[in-house]
């Protein structure tokens, strides 16, 4: 348990994905956060940091690029078209063809909800570009300077610069991907050069959660890295639980289902604890 390791094995990785997707479902439904842990501050970071700890190199090849394009852009595109059709039929929204194109490119922005009636799974695009930056860096080390520099700029004034401005005007999440690339890079550095950082990070995360419960907030960057240490340690203890392994293997499908259900039912179900439980239940059974 206390072994100083930098790479995560496949079973722990799958379990961690299962835990992370549960956190995402919880984080998407703020009405369920009755104990004030604000999981949306660190739930997505787990997926973005995880590829940095695989015991294999993200190679910059056409096959790897095609695989990532298919797994990220095809679900995103299909989801966009489907939502536009539903929005047109159910809500009667009508836009010019070029407005649909702009909505597709700027889908991370909440303005896109005016186009297709839904807030979009920006995670898919951001994840694709994190993997792309990582692949390019593995082949051309100097390239890492670019996303790291952009990520540092985002950290300077994170709330005003990134979330408010770039969340609405960051085509395909190119810039936010730099932020998470920086987070993954620093996480690798800490795990590599600080012995037993998984244990130290776990302890720090628990302390941060206690402080958060008391209303003392820190930066999402710290939550993301220490949270990864905590959930990696948790996945070590829970890796034999079949349910977590199952949802970890199907995390993409569960994520898309959850996003769709949240948007679709937001028109009919009140934003209460009961409404949140209904959304969770439907996400799991579907």
Give pLDDT tens digits along the chain (286 positions): 444 568 899 999 999 999 999 888 887 775 555 554 678 788 889 999 999 999 776 677 888 888 889 988 888 888 888 877 877 777 676 777 677 777 777 755 545 666 666 666 778 888 999 999 999 998 899 999 999 998 988 877 655 554 555 555 677 788 889 999 999 999 999 999 998 999 999 999 999 999 988 888 888 899 999 999 999 999 999 999 999 999 999 998 888 887 777 766 665 665 665 666 666 666 666 6
Write the DSSP symbol of residue 269: S
- pTM above 0.95? no
| Residues 133, 181 contacting (CB under 8 angstroms) | yes
At 21 the pLDDT is 92
Neighbours of 159 (CB within 10 A): 9
At 170 the pLDDT is 72
| Residues 16, 247 contacting (CB under 8 angstroms) | no
Sequence-ordered list of residues with C-beta below 8 angstroms from that of 174, at least 6 positions apart, any chain: 129
**Residue (of 117, 44, 113) closest to 87 by Cα position:** 117
What is the per-residue DSSP string for 112-124? Answer: HHHHHSS---HHH
- The Cα–Cα gap between 104 and 116 comes to 9
At 2 the pLDDT is 43
The CA–CA distances, whole Å, from 228 to 124, 209, 273 equal: 19, 13, 27
- The Cα–Cα gap between 14 and 241 comes to 11
At 236 the pLDDT is 93
At 165 the pLDDT is 57
Over its C-alpha atoms, the chain yields an Rg (Å, rounded) of: 19
At 59 the pLDDT is 73
């Amino acid at each position: 348990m206390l072994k100083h390791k930098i790479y995560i094995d496949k079973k722990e990785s799958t379990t961690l994905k299962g835990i992370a997707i549960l956190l995402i479902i919880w984080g998407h439904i703020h009405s369920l956060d009755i104990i004030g842990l604000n999981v949306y501050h660190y739930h997505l970071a787990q997926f973005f940091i995880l590829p940095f700890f695989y015991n294999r190199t993200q190679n910059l090849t056409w096959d790897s690029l095609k695989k990532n394009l298919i797994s990220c852009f095809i679900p995103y595109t299909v989801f966009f078209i489907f939502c536009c059709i539903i929005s047109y039929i159910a809500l009667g929204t009508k836009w010019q063809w070029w407005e649909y194109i702009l909505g597709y490119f700027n889908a991370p922005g909440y303005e896109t909800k005016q186009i297709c009636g839904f807030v979009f799974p920006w995670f898919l695009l951001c994840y694709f570009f994190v993997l792309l930056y990582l692949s390019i860096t593995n082949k051309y080390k100097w390239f890492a300077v670019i996303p790291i520099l952009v990520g540092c700029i985002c950290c300077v004034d994170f709330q005003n610069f990134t979330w408010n401005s770039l969340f609405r005007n960051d085509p395909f999440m190119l810039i936010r991907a730099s932020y998470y690339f920086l987070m993954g890079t620093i996480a690798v550095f800490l795990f590599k050069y600080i012995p037993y950082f998984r244990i130290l990070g776990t302890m720090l995360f628990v302390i941060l959660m206690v402080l958060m419960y008391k209303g003392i907030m820190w930066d999402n960057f710290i939550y993301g890295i220490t949270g990864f240490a905590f959930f990696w340690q948790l996945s070590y203890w829970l890796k034999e639980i079949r349910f977590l392994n199952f949802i970890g293997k199907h995390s993409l499908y569960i994520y898309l289902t959850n996003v769709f259900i949240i948007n679709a039912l937001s028109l009919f179900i009140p934003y209460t604890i009961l409404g949140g439980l209904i959304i969770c239940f439907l996400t799991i059974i579907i």
